[in-house]
Copies of this chain bind each other. A is one copy, B any other.
Amino acid sequence: MTRLTIRRPDDFHLHLRILLMLQNVLRHTADHFARALIMPNPMPPIVTSEDVTRYQSEILAERGQTVAFEPLMTFFILPNHDPRQIGLLKGVGVLSGKGYPKGLTTNSDDGIEDYFALYEVYAEMEKHGLVLCLHGEKPGKEVYCLDREKEFLPIVRQINQDFPKLRIVVEHVSTAAAIETVLELPDAVAATITAHHPALTTDDIIGGKLKPHLFCKPVAKRPEDREAIVRAMISGSPKFFFGSDSAPHPRGAKECAEGCAGLYTAPVALAVLSEMFEKYDALDRLENFVSRFGAEFYSLPLNEGTITLEKKPWKVPTSYFDQPNDVVPFRAGEELQWQVVS
């Protein structure tokens, strides 16, 4: 197969940032995706219904009238979140709330330490049909970085047991353990898979030279974890759908003494996924992964229209945007085999 037309896809995990970065990156997603779930961790975080409305307006203003791209909104769950806010958030159209583990990733200083202190919030979210999106890593200095996802899984189990109707997404899974847990748990629990975790292991980041542009949270794990992610991605199970976690950082925030976590994948994600699905002889399952399972989990209508992918090599730019805010994308400077042609 050298040409593939699929329903317009969704990205259920996207960082758009604000101001100049928002202006720069928005079109890369809007060019390829009909909708994206916009992560609520700019600084300051998107917490209240007013925050959500304002941020959504900023994105729509930037998008303009002629582009058919819909930002799906989520809110940042504070450790002391007022459960009475949930109804208001639902009222302005948020689909989900995002729980960040305190201090573990970009702009997560206001994140959660004790997930069981938020039961009133979960109860309200369950009542209002909001999805709980979890960056699934256990916070706390005593947890070894490569164990954090595995050690977070009992928290997912417990919340699912106590709120069986609350839909939970374990975001950007990076371990075989997380895949197994998501498969074991009821249908209310699903996971997003990025375009880069099926492609990377820890070796790519620290195994040779240090590669800050391949550094993300959760950090890519062992080869057998990567393989389990690939298997889940191409399995056809509706529990696994695409969320890029595309996270742009200016080059200077990566190539420095304290580098930020995150890969900028928006402009290459569909090409990278097409390559991988082809490699594993599963191109016929790509559409469900990027255009159906996520929408169904979030109870959204499927997108109208299509995009066409073609096997036609192109070279990924070594960076996007003007210095000093240029961003080095995933697979920078490399040749990719597939591209979006319409």
Contacts and interface: CB of A to CB of B under 8 A. Distances in A.
B257 A328 contact: yes
A203 B103 CA distance: 13
Nearest to A221: B144
B211 A258 contact: yes
A301 interface: no
A255 B211 CA distance: 10
B145 A209 contact: no
A223 B259 contact: no
Interface stretch (A156-164, A173-181, A212-220): A212-220
Nearest to A205: B206
Contacts of A104: 208
B215 A206 contact: yes
A97 B60 CA distance: 65
Interface string A217-243: 001001100000000000000000000
A47 to B, nearest CB: 23
A155 interface: no
A260 interface: yes
B219 A103 contact: no
Residue among A104, A205, A207 with max Cβ neighbours from chain B (10 Å): A207
Contact of A210 (B202, B207, B215): B215
Nearest to A223: B144
Given A144-B202, A146-B202, A257 B212 contact: yes
A205 B206 CA distance: 9
Contacts of A209: 258-261
B211 A257 contact: yes
Given A145-B207, A211-B257, A211-B259, 17 more contacts: A104-B208, A141-B203, A144-B202, A144-B207, A144-B222, A145-B206, A146-B146, A206-B206, A206-B215, A209-B258, A209-B259, A210-B210, A210-B212, A210-B254, A210-B260, A211-B258, A212-B212
Interface of A: 103-104, 141, 144-146, 201-203, 205-213, 215, 219, 222-223, 254-261, 328
